[in-house]
Amino acid sequence: MLAAQPHRGRFLVLEGIDGCGKTTQLEHLRRWLPASGLLPAGAELIVTREPGGTPLGQALRQLLLHPPGEAAPGSCAELLLYAADRAQHVQQRIQPALAAGHWVLSDRFAGSTAAYQGYGRGLSLQLIDQLERIATGGLAPDLTLWLELPLAESLRRRGYREADRIEASGEAFLARVCGGFAALAAERGWQRLDGGQSPQQVSAAIEALLREFAARG
């Protein structure tokens, strides 16, 4: 008798500008989800990020966010490096985990590229969509949670922390990114959460959304 094949896992993504609380909520979900009873029997929670979810991605993350000397990529090269990171991430980590029936939780995915390189840098959204289809092989998140936060609050939270290369692109750039996230959330049906609330309130809202999501099957 053939063994039953596992059901495909679920792919969850957290999106938002820096300072919106993604890292805090990612760590909360890392602890809460496995004990929540929402994961099917035998399923694991795989927590990952973009860029940097694979060994290749870790090297690309360094080039993208903290490049040495004059190695900073131009806008087009930046876009292609993010696409390369995503292609490796999907092929090497996300798709195998989903095929095994696991749940995958990622800090950023394709939406961030559209927001930062499309709306922020002004690169062609049509080109970005084409690269997204190539890099992902058509894979899309089952649920995207967008932590919305005004830019002024994002900057206040960041305080005196040293900015990476993307964060250091200026307030006008970051304002365009914020607008991009709002447009993408409406276009792609993301779940909006108020990132200005306390971490506990945001966590409770996410838990409620995930229980509803799991109940829908």
Q: Which amino acid is at 12?
A: L
* Residue 86, CA distances (Å) to 3, 25, 123, 175 in order: 32, 22, 18, 25
CA–CA distance, 141 with 184 (Å, rounded to integer):
14
At residue 92, the pLDDT reads: 98
The confidence score (pLDDT) of residue 160 equals 67
Q: List the strands of the sheet with 45-49, edge to edge.
A: 45-49, 103-107, 11-15, 143-148, 191-194
> Which tokens belong to 116?
């930062």
Q: Which has the closest alpha carbon to 139: 61, 180, 86, 192?
A: 86
Q: The tokens 């300072």 sit on which residue?
A: 19
Structure confidence at residue 159 (pLDDT): 76
| pLDDT tens-digit series, residues 148-160 | 999 999 989 887 6
174 CB-near residues (< 8 Å, 6+ apart): 17, 120, 151, 154, 155, 167
Round to the nearest angstrom and report the end-to-end CA distance of the chain: 27
φ and ψ at 117, to 5 degrees? -85, -30
pLDDT recorded at residue 6: 65
CA gap 195, 152 in Å, rounded = 13
Phi then psi for 196, rounded to 5 degrees? -80, -10
Q: Residue 46 belongs to what H/E stretch?
A: strand 45-49
3-class SS of residue 216 = coil
The pTM assigned to this predicted structure is 0.93
The burial class, CB within 10 Å (0-12 / 13-18 / 19+), for 202 is: buried
What the chain holds in terms of domains, given with CATH numbers, is: 11-215 (3.40.50.300)
> What are the tokens at 138?
């058509």
Q: Which residues of the chain have pLDDT under 70?
A: 1-6, 160
